[in-house]
């Protein structure tokens, strides 16, 4: 357990250091870029930037090349605590960093340095940039300051990093394999389903795709029937009040579809369980149909 904990700590420090390496490379290539935040993640690292001009996908190759160049410089990575007034002076032209500084209750803030690059940081790094070897920038996306759509739009660069070359190659192979078996790719290639602008996220099943759905549904029905399940069907849309009562509203409202009918709120069901529970409530307790095994395939 202690060994695993130490390994996770080292991986976290490597990812953390890689995010600083990314920011360092971006500033050398695009010096007018404003840095915001760049944390390690469960899968790698990212950094959010406000560039003078938006990055393009082809810029990732340039940035990655610059990261490798900085890595080979073998710069020592240090960490220190500095007074807030010093930090404010360092970041007087960066409103994002100034906001972060003001949000720290202590009188001092952490600062990481490697060569002439520095960044606000709580600490936890590898000792030299040369320790960051096995990495790759994966993609570029949009983001918002502090994940709030009301705030400044930013650009996020994602990357991955591993302690060994073998681990990096295995991960990249897994990513490539996942692309081969991506359902969106296969759906189009095999003429199973398609997506249309009029129904974003909702598949239009073609005859071949619908046939597969029917075969799988029938297979499932037979299997569950042998195990004593009984099939029911509940409405696709139920009152908004039900979803509030069940707790689904609090957790899923941002991704639910609502409608008002006769001045009463309704929502398309995100899950089957509340409708099924309503059915169970009205089943006579001594009825021969009263079982706990119900199947709701709708």
Indicate if 141 and 203 belong to the same structural domain. Answer: no
* Residue 119 and residue 75 share a domain: yes
DSSP state of 197: G
According to the model, what pLDDT value does residue 286 have? 47
CATH number at residue 86: 3.30.980.10
By residue range, what is the domain housing residue 204? 182-227
Same domain, 221 and 232: no
Write the pLDDT tens digit of every residue in 194-206. 989 898 788 999 9
Query: Which one of 117, 134, 162 terminates a domain?
Result: 162
Q: Which residues contact 148 (CB under 8 A, 6 or more apart)?
A: none
pTM higher than 0.75 for the full model?
A: no
Within this chain, do residues 77 and 146 fall inside the same structural domain, yes or no? yes
- Gyration radius (Cα) of the chain, Å: 27
Residue 174 domain flag: no
pLDDT tens readout for residues 77-114: 999 999 999 999 999 999 999 999 999 999 999 999 99
Q: What does the pLDDT average to over 145-160?
A: 95
């Amino acid at each position: 357990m202690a060994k695993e904990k130490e390994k996770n700590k080292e991986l976290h420090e490597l990812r953390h250091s890689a995010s600083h390496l990314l920011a360092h490379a971006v500033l050398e290539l695009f010096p007018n870029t404003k840095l915001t935040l760049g944390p390690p993640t469960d899968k790698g690292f990212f950094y959010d930037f406000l560039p003078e001009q938006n990055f393009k996908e082809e810029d990732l190759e340039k940035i990655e090349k610059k990261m490798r160049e900085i890595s080979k410089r073998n710069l020592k990575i240090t960490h220190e605590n500095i007074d807030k007034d010093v930090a404010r002076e360092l970041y007087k032209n960066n409103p994002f960093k100034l906001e972060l500084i003001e949000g720290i209750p202590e009188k001092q803030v952490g600062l990481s340095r490697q060569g002439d690059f520095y960044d606000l940081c709580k600490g936890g790094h590898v000792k030299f940039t040369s320790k960051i070897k096995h990495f790759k920038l994966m993609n570029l996306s949009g983001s918002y300051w502090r994940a709030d759509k009301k705030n400044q739009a930013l650009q996020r660069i994602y990357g991955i990093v591993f302690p060994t070359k073998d681990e990096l190659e295995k991960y990249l192979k897994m990513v490539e394999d996942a692309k081969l078996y991506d359902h969106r790719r296969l759906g189009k290639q095999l003429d199973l389903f398609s997506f249309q602008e009029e129904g974003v996220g909702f598949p239009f099943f073609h005859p071949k795709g619908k046939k597969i759905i029917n075969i799988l549904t029938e297979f499932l029905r037979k299997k569950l029937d042998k195990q004593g399940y009984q099939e029911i069907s509940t409405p696709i849309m139920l009152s908004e009040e039900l979803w509030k009562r069940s707790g689904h509203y609090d957790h899923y409202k941002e991704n639910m579809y609502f409608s008002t009918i006769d001045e009463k709120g309704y929502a398309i069901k995100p899950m089957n369980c509340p409708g099924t529970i309503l059915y169970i409530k009205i089943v006579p307790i001594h009825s021969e149909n009263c079982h706990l095994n119900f199947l709701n395939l709708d």
